[in-house]
Amino acid sequence: MTDYLASLTTEGSNPVTQMIDESSTEEILTLLNQEDAKVPEAVAAEIPAIARAVEALYQSLSSGGRMFYIGAGTSGRLGVLDASECPPTFGVDPLLVQGHIAGGDQALRVAVEGCEDDGVAGRALIDELGITSRDTVVGISASGTAAYVIEALKHASELGAATIAVVNNKQTQLEQVCDICIAPVVGPEAIAGSTRMKAGTAQKLVLNMLTTSTMVKLGKTYNNLMVDLKASNKKLYNRSLRIITAATGVEEAEAARYLQEASMDCKLAIMMIKSKLGRNEAAAALEECKGNLKQAIRICTKAI
């Protein structure tokens, strides 16, 4: 294992930043920025694999399944972060997209060393979550060696779930146990082995792409507007008004009136305005189209 770890790109020493400890503050920042600039290109190279992953996630979620992120350390924290953003962004049930980290919630704030090596705990997590063949499990590990993640994906696969790996090296151990592997290789870190840096940035970009693309395909947006939100605070209320006016062209006062009638449901308010239907009829039309606002509007306006 020692030789294997030493061969990983993420564990190498970066010749460009070799003398970073003798650099000025601006030089340090420039070096870090130059290394970070390599990340988008590495992610772009993985778009075909990301597309396959999104298709798998779409099939899973549109068929009543769920999405799970499982990781350790920085990778686990990024998964939990992305999952936690889905309910406020796309109005989905918190159980639809879940993030889990080796060591449990305490590991979100404090490093819990050794947990990533506990493969038994990874398998136990899959049982605790009640993973089925309808679900998709995404394992995240920069090195692709975390036993917790590897065994979790193995067990999920045994139960018939689709499995996706997000790693930062090619031909990793994690790649051997998943259906789809996404591997943006960003090269050695500015600080050798600190995979919270470029590797973590690449992972964050990939996770954003996975959930955002899947939610767009599920009809959680209207054009590029985040319509599936509830105006539960002042910021979201004002955002809802802006979205309604952008989607319908009505004045803010009229948008506010419809939003009130729709019980602070932005999507329903837009549906009412665009279709000229009452609240109940508009809600029924949306339900008939599984929440796809554009589809519901097209059907209703065509029938008028």
CB-based contacts of 9, cutoff 8 Å, min separation 6: 168, 169, 170, 185, 186, 187, 188
Nearest residue to 73 via CA among 209, 191, 195? 195
Can you tell me the distance from the alpha carbon of 128 to that of 28, in angstroms, rounded to the nearest whole number? 45
Q: Which residues share a beta bridge with 99?
A: 69
pLDDT at 4 over 80: no
pLDDT in tens, 84-120: 999 988 989 999 999 999 999 999 988 887 899 999 9
Cβ(232)–Cβ(264) under 8 Å?
yes
- DSSP SS3 for 229: coil
- DSSP SS3 for 69: strand
Nearest residue to 160 via CA among 71, 79, 60, 72? 60
Q: What per-residue confidence (pLDDT) applies to 232?
A: 83
Cβ(58)–Cβ(214) under 8 Å?
yes
**Residue 60: which H helix or E strand, with range?**
helix 47-62
pLDDT level of residue 252 (50, 70, 90 thresholds): very high
pLDDT level of residue 7 (50, 70, 90 thresholds): confident
- Set out the domains of the chain in order of their start, with CATH numbers: 2-217 (3.40.50.10490), 234-303 (1.10.8.1080)
What percent of the residues of the chain are helix, what percent strand, and what percent coil, each to the nearest 5?
60, 10, 35
Q: What per-residue confidence (pLDDT) applies to 304?
A: 47
pLDDT level of residue 267 (50, 70, 90 thresholds): very high
Structure tokens at 78: 């990024």
pLDDT at 152 over 90: yes
Query: Active-site residue numbers?
Result: 85, 116
Nearest residue to 46 via CA among 151, 202, 225? 202
Q: What per-residue confidence (pLDDT) applies to 19?
A: 95
Secondary structure (DSSP) of 122-190: HHHHHHHHT--TT-EEEEE-SSS--HHHHHHHHHHHHTT-EEEEE-SSSS-TTGGG-SEEE-----S-S
pLDDT at 181 over 80: yes
Q: What per-residue confidence (pLDDT) applies to 104?
A: 92
Secondary structure (DSSP) of 34-56: HHHTTHHHHHHTTHHHHHHHHHH
Nearest residue to 166 via CA among 149, 145, 183? 183
Q: Which residues share a beta bridge with 225?
A: 222
Share of the chain above pLDDT 70, in %: 98
- φ/ψ region of 193 (left if φ > 0, alpha if ψ in -120 to 50, else beta) reads left
Can you tell me the distance from the alpha carbon of 143 to that of 12, in angstroms, rounded to the nearest whole number? 12
Q: What per-residue confidence (pLDDT) applies to 8?
A: 86
Lowest mean pLDDT across 43-57, 101-115, 122-136, 206-220: 101-115
Among 4-13, 62-71, 186-195, the range of highest mean pLDDT: 62-71
Q: What per-residue confidence (pLDDT) applies to 2?
A: 63
Q: What per-residue confidence (pLDDT) applies to 302?
A: 74
Q: What per-residue confidence (pLDDT) applies to 21?
A: 94
pLDDT in tens, 133-146: 999 999 999 999 99
Model confidence pTM above 0.85: yes
